Structure 1
């Protein structure tokens, strides 16, 4: 039986990255059906009419808007029209060549042009339930199932087929749970959760923030996979992990295992990514991976509430105050004496100091939350003007970044109640230059280690760091 062309593309891209590590990705985890949830409208009694007029007009018909729906500002009428059209798989045809005007007083004249405009302004059909329960059916009907990426990317790896994995499909902890770092006697740090943030009026949903919420849901899925992939020998994955300091060899192994996990996360988050040619997917991912690793480590380090460490994806950490222990046993050839290790620490310490000074400290000052972290990931992944990147790929990335900007504006204004959401967005984006400096310094250190054979680098690690893995 022949494989559809689109499935061949996805599988081919995954084969590009799957050979880097010795494990599979998150595609083998069973993904439950994600349906959008419309949060209840909350209007403060003290200002009964003000909020209505502060909302932008509908991007489709220019009527008074009702907030962000399915990825775009829309009124209730256009929201209902779009939901109904997608859910019922309606097919419309324009009798005027597709050039009809869509305005509030004539929006019902041509449904074809109205639906096309919904798509053009950013409304996402993926955020609409495939089928709603029928009121007169007397019983629930099963939802139509969309193909899962796990079915087309790779075969499930053996350790994800165990019955215990079903218990991991619904996390019992919040996203990025760092309570494992909490010392009850010396710290009042608690796990970070969006619901615990001050000023939140309602929880974001797939309808109001489809892209960012989809990234959050799939990130939790990746975290579940990490609890299996990075577990130590003899460790029970159902017990709370106790973080420990790791050495250079263990840190490089952790990074190598992350390649396939992050590749799957990207595939799950961006529908636009799946439509790209394999060579364009490879260009984007090779450029993104090391930046994501460095950004995520800084983010997790800040949320851990600890100083002097760098938290890895495995939740173990590099102890900046004991670099001698970090580099012990990683020497090349006959090196590895205390004098060699001391020389190595003097060489590498400025790189760690730069990460702490310019990246970790800045993220701590800005107090970046989960959704802001995901927005930074979008900006990093959909980079513009990379070597070999096509104009079509650049255009796709530009549209995705515009989409996440709209969602962040909604989130900052309506959820976190920032008085100056654009100022806050500028503050968060200002982290990217610091990230770039930290990554470049790290790449220079690895380059020097490779040229002068300062310490033993695992196979492929040099290429992963420099975005040259194939």
Structure 2
């Protein structure tokens, strides 16, 4: 005979069932951006931040994120329930978002599939505080034992995992666009090989599919750093971007200067494609003299923090720097124009034209200031030109030198603490600038999608070219002194001021 039993639901059992139901509901609703928040924590915030001002019946606030009706202050910003829930999910689960457009997507309540990357960035810009979200509360994500201990070491994925993910930069050609975004959980994380500290990283090949072309710099990847979120604005470069603007400005001015020296017609200046011509020693000398005045303005206005340096130290640094820029830039421009072909022996000269190493004597022909046989002048300068072509340009070609890498080298040539006579305050500024240049270079490499070991290798390869460049400048300086000694031609003013300076 069966004995009837009566199920007694104690308050403890009821509370446990409610918690399980809330957890399952939150998983189902996290797939939709505009879903209602799962718990009261999504509305108020993890630290119990109640709205400081509740609108009266006659007053109606607007969500500063999607412009829907706001019901109060969430994480420091007036927003609707859906945007508050979205922000809390993103921070708590450390989700990665990527914009498919140019990080300029419109965020409105009418858009059901609005861009998550732009939506989260707008939350940050409108004042939502990441620090107001506690990481370990009920209602979001699956509850697993020891989950918090496993995810504390979460770090961004790298090129070791097939698809590179730049820390705060645009995707590269190897990056895939997300087809459907997943929230990470411990089961999807792999322990990093060779690590004894329990680091984990997400398998990006399960998240991304359908390869996409290279995106512009406006695209942003929002990815968690090692232990907490850091807004992308804090990861911006401080020196190299402005130097790049100044360098482009300098190239534009130099092109106009070359046209002036060559007496080009208006029609020639508006030609859609610039035609390279053979260079001449006389015109190169004139351009070099004018160039010294142009570079002073560019360095002072664009090469931060040069404008803040003491006047006397400015003069010392610039005198040491100018001939480095003048001669090294010829090599870089030659690499940009002719670098694709290892057999091309043409080199760009100061007047914007070119010379052929095999016909170097033509460069000194029909020049009024050349007093000796052009072949004698070519004999003196051919070893230095050959070194530039076969060593420096070849090195640039091998490492595929970019503008930002080149400008990092130029910055190191400018900021040399070994220049005699510098004040201690200037030397301190030089060391601080060195640190920032390398930080900028590291961020630049991250934006290109390179992982840690690759960044180390590329930085080392970049530093190896500096002694070669310095040697080439020294060789040319010695050649000018030799030409002046044997009265082959008179040395121009820009190299007369460059006497005993060496790269230190």
User: Which of 191, 203, 206 lines up with 2:217 in the alignment?
Assistant: 203
**Partner SS, residue 315 of structure 1:** coil
Deviations 1:239-282 (A, max 9, x none): 24311111222222222221122111111223421122211001
Query: Is the Cα contact below 8 Å between 1:245 and 1:316 reproduced in 2?
Result: yes
**Partner SS, residue 248 of structure 2:** helix
After TM superposition, give the deviation of residue 201 of structure 1 in Å.
5.3
User: Which of 213, 216, 219 lines up with 2:244 in the alignment?
Assistant: 216
CA pair 317-467 structure 1, distance change in 2 beyond 3 A:
farther
**Partner SS, residue 310 of structure 1:** strand
CA pair 438-198 structure 1, distance change in 2 beyond 3 A:
farther
Distance 2:369 2:298 in 1: 35
TM-score in terms of structure 2 length? 0.51
Distance 1:204 1:254 in 2: 37
**Partner SS, residue 430 of structure 1:** helix
* 2:265 equivalent to 1:235: yes
Query: Is the Cα contact below 8 Å between 1:286 and 1:467 reproduced in 2?
Result: no
**Partner SS, residue 224 of structure 1:** helix
After TM superposition, give the deviation of residue 291 of structure 1 in Å.
0.8
RMSD value over aligned CA atoms? 3.4
The residue aligned with 2:45 is none
The residue aligned with 1:264 is 297
* 2:349 equivalent to 1:319: no
User: Which of 437, 461, 464 lines up with 1:427 in the alignment?
Assistant: 461
Distance 2:426 2:218 in 1: 29
Deviations 1:386-411 (A, max 9, x none): 11111111111111111121111111
Which of the pair has more CA radius of gyration? 2
User: Which of 356, 366, 378 lines up with 1:329 in the alignment?
Assistant: 366
Distance 2:350 2:334 in 1: 10
The residue aligned with 1:249 is 282
Distance 1:403 1:461 in 2: 30
Distance 2:449 2:350 in 1: 27
User: Which of 301, 321, 340 lines up with 2:334 in the alignment?
Assistant: 301
TM-score in terms of structure 1 length? 0.54
**Partner SS, residue 305 of structure 2:** helix
What is the total number of aligned residue pairs between the two structures?
Answer: 285
Distance 1:405 1:372 in 2: 10
After TM superposition, give the deviation of residue 348 of structure 1 in Å.
2.1
After TM superposition, give the deviation of residue 329 of structure 1 in Å.
3.2
User: Which of 270, 273, 291 lines up with 2:306 in the alignment?
Assistant: 273
Distance 2:324 2:334 in 1: 15
* 2:381 equivalent to 1:348: yes
User: Which of 216, 225, 239 lines up with 2:253 in the alignment?
Assistant: 225
CA pair 51-314 structure 1, distance change in 2 beyond 3 A:
farther
Of structures 1 and 2, the one scoring higher in RCO (CA 8 A, sep 6+) is: 1
Query: Is the Cα contact below 8 Å between 1:447 and 1:462 reproduced in 2?
Result: no
